[in-house]
Amino acid sequence: DTGVSQNPRHKITKRGQNVTFRCDPISEHNRLYWYRQTLGQGPEFLTYFQNEAQLEKSRLLSDRFSAERPKGSFSTLEIQRTEQGDSAMYLCASSSQKRTSGTDTQYFGPGTRLTVL
């Protein structure tokens, strides 16, 4: 098991451009999460998938953000018309639902650092 992977690791873009990030979770993990982390802060929840279904989106996720997990495996996070305030580290995590209740341990990828000029 190679862990959660994210691509690209770094992205520099100009304001107004669209960007897309990819996350490959640990194989057979059915849950996938996106978080955003700005300098000096802890990660903030953005959205969550169980298999291919997107079950919750944070208010932080504006209309310019869209996430997909088409086959219940990898996921993409797209930001349209990027703004300087979108500059952050975007973290992906995955977990395996082993119980009907309780919480799962989330395993994080290395993140994609976005810089919007």
Partner 1 sequence: SQELEQSPQSLIVQEGKNLTINCTSSKTLYGLYWYKQKYGEGLIFLMMLQKGGEEKSHEKITAKLDEKKQQSSLHITASQPSHAGIYLCGAVFTSGTYKYIFGTGTRLKVLA
Based on the shown chain and the rule CB under 8 A, indicate whether residue 79 belongs to the binding site for partner 1.
Answer: no
Decide: is 107 part of the binding site for partner 1 (CB under 8 A).
yes
Counting Cα atoms < 13 Å in the Cβ hemisphere of 55 gives 10
Q: Is 104 in the site for partner 1 (CB under 8 A)?
A: yes
Of 11-19, 59-67, 71-79, 86-94, the segment contacting partner 1 by CB under 8 A is: 86-94
Cβ 11 vs Cβ 19: under 8 Å: yes
How far, in Å, CA of 60 to CA of 47, rounded?
Answer: 9
Furthest-apart CA atoms within the chain: distance in Å: 45
Binding site for partner 1 (CB under 8 A): 4, 6, 31, 33, 40-45, 48, 55-56, 89, 91, 93, 95, 101-111, 113
